[in-house]
Amino acid sequence: MLILLTSLINLKIHATQVITLAIGEWPPYTSSKNKKDKIAEIIVTEAFKYENIQVIYKYYPWKRAYISVLRGEYVGTFPWKNTIKRQNDFIVSKETIIRVKEVFFHLKSLNFHWDKYSDLKKYRIGGTIGYSHIDILANQNLHVEQVPREELNFKKLAKKRIDIVPSSYIVGYNIIGKNFTPSESTLFTNHNKPLHEMDMVLLISRKIPNGNLLITKFNKGLRKLKESGRYDEIILKLLN
């Protein structure tokens, strides 16, 4: 009886916790379709695995994923830019999942250059609903034509229906490579000046029990992943 009780206690201690995170499509960082487009997912999965937590993913449009976690329908969501508002609304990881540089993409045929926001007033700007660049540009009194999916902006760009579109450097070229022929892909380029650079983090709902404990475990697991060298391996392997 004592041996059985001890075994049950050990089993309980080592039982894997299962959590569900709500995310969207953002190749090559998150994707429901392609294993090579899951850089951020693999990082989060393996960070939690260090702390004996298994992650299940549910895919939604980004805005819906964000709101569902805010309401407590799911445990968390990522990768999101760390902002003061999100620190108030969610429990935010201290460890950065990925660092993203967002730049303006345009056609090579456009002589595009910008140094300050006022330089952008003469251009038709495309943006993606729910992305942080919408607020950044709106705060500078710039009009942005919004679409629900990022690849639609690049298709509009190709047809010259917009002039410029902000996107993560890596994500933008990933979209171009997957949605256009090799000859069409050569028509695109980007401006080197970043619109902004972002530390992308995990958001945990404030409406779930043990949220603070979960974020502590995630931070700990992600630090272990980075220290092991596995973090760099994931990024380099999937980007090459």
Write down the pTM of the prediction: 0.78
12 occurs within a structural domain:
no
Q: Which domain holds residue 140?
A: 100-197
Q: Describe the crossing of helices 230-239 and 211-228 by its angle, rounded to 10 degrees.
A: 80
- Kindly state whether residues 23 and 88 are assigned to the same domain: yes
Question: Could you report the per-residue pLDDT of 139-157, keeping only the tens digit for each?
Answer: 999 999 999 999 999 999 9
- Kindly state whether residues 180 and 136 are assigned to the same domain: yes
- Kindly state whether residues 77 and 133 are assigned to the same domain: no
Tell me which amino acid residue 234 is: I
Average pLDDT of the chain to the nearest whole number: 92
d(CA 67, CA 32): 19
d(CA 43, CA 172): 21
- Kindly state whether residues 27 and 79 are assigned to the same domain: yes
Among 93, 80, 6, residue whose Cα is nearest residue 51: 93
Phi, psi of 187 (to 5 degrees): -80, -15
Among 200, 227, 233, 33, residue whose Cα is nearest residue 132: 200
Number of domains, the chain: 2
10 occurs within a structural domain:
no
Question: Could you report the per-residue pLDDT of 57-116, keeping only the tens digit for each?
Answer: 999 999 999 999 999 999 999 999 999 999 999 999 999 999 999 999 999 999 999 999
